[in-house]
Amino acid sequence: MGRVILAVTGSIAAYKAVEVLREFQRRGWEVRVVMTRAATHFVAPLTFQTLSEKRVIVDQFRDVFALEHIELCREADALLVAPATADFIAKMAAGLADDFPSSLYLACKKPVFVAPAMNEGMLMHPATRRNLEILREHGVRIIEPEEGPLACEEEGLGRLAEPARVVFQVLSSLGSRLRGRKVLVTAGPTREFIDEVRFISNPSTGKQGLAIAHQAALMGAEVHLLLSSASPFRSMVSYETFTSGEELRERLKGKDYDLLFMTAAVGDFRPAKTKGGKLRRQGRLTLDLEATPDILAEICSSKRPGQFVVAFAAETEDFLQRAKKKLGKKGADAIFVNPVGRGVGFGQDENRGWLIFRDGSIHEIPPSSKEEVARRIIELVIEKEEI
């Protein structure tokens, strides 16, 4: 897949670099670790050496065979400093090169990422703010730290971003197949309220839509996600939430995109009237339902040339026949149909189905993880449209 150099510096969050390494490996990436002397007080080089199966360089005069500070970056796709101390960030900004990781950085011509981790006081100090600004000016990409409990028993800004997020940001910045393209994704179920505490919905969780958003981001797209407030997941890409079909329709208005994946499970009916307060228990209750607006058809009728819409259909039977009918009726460019039912499709980790294009071509996607299904769907669309 790719190769990254992971520079670990002397922060209390250095143990999380182990998880960063693991996350890269899970995605098939090779990791080469280098460390500052201070970092070795927090995690032993042997830990990284064992996990990466590669020699870890700390001392530029003892651990190095030749001009490795220049050679290592030549063979890598990126350099990531995680966690990055205030001290190391200052060194990078000033152009100091008095140890192996800082010499490596200065010689590196590949994309560089920095994930700061420090106490809020250190992070907000004008010197650190200025140094981070200088790094940005030098083209370094900063993976913003998060808010939360810090090691110094304070709450605040400065926690190393979650390892999965660190890796996601590196990989999505390096992705190229959808670079410069705007991808919009809708995900999760709608809720149509009967009264103030009850609603009509479906078992969708938004997992497949999230996977599409993440895979598109990993291919370098600028992704925006419209995610159901009922989804149990949160996303690593920019998102806003919706609850009802009407809210989703409002959020979609005026959104610009090149590629739209309408993965959300939008209900077909809603109560004609929502009762204020709470309906009282009674012997029998008849609900008066009306059809919800056909958001997909609306979107397809107003799309401009060059925009591509992929519809999604969850069916219990006659998959291909029903999907083809929906594709023709709504005016989408392609449709992905997958079987659903009790314990099938909704909320599961795996999915399968068929992607059908307007020209009638059908591509079967065998059972695999939802991330893999998402990757296949996007790749097929890219190939078809030469996007």
Ligand X SMILES: Cc1cc2nc3c(=O)[nH]c(=O)nc-3n(C[C@H](O)[C@H](O)[C@H](O)COP(=O)(O)O)c2cc1C
Binding-site ranges for ligand X (CB under 6 A): 9-13, 36, 38-39, 85-88, 117-118, 122
Nearer of residues 36 and 338 to ligand X, judged by Cβ:
36
Angle between helical axes of 163-174 and 207-218 (0-180°, round to 10): 50
Of 313, 355, 309, 353, residue with least CA distance to 332 = 309
Nearer of residues 72 and 115 to ligand X, judged by Cβ:
115
Any idea how long the chain is? 387
Nearer of residues 127 and 279 to ligand X, judged by Cβ:
127
Nearer of residues 6 and 13 to ligand X, judged by Cβ:
13
Residue 213 contacts residue 201 (beta carbons within 8 Å): no
Q: In angstroms, give the least distance from the CB of 11 to ligand X.
A: 3
Q: In angstroms, give the least distance from the CB of 94 to ligand X.
A: 12
Instruction: State yes or no: is 300 an active-site residue.
Output: no
Task: Report how far residue 237's alpha carbon sits from residue 221's, in angstroms, rounded to the nearest whole number.
Answer: 10
Q: In angstroms, give the least distance from the CB of 353 to ligand X.
A: 46
Query: What is the residue type of 220?
Result: G
Q: In angstroms, give the least distance from the CB of 157 to ligand X.
A: 13
Chain centre to alpha carbon of residue 155: 26
Nearer of residues 10 and 271 to ligand X, judged by Cβ:
10
Task: Indicate which residue of 73, 108, 152, 300 is catalytic.
Answer: 152
Q: In angstroms, give the least distance from the CB of 83 to ligand X.
A: 6
Extract the tokens encoding 100.
């192996």
Nearer of residues 39 and 374 to ligand X, judged by Cβ:
39
User: Catalytic residue positions?
Assistant: 152
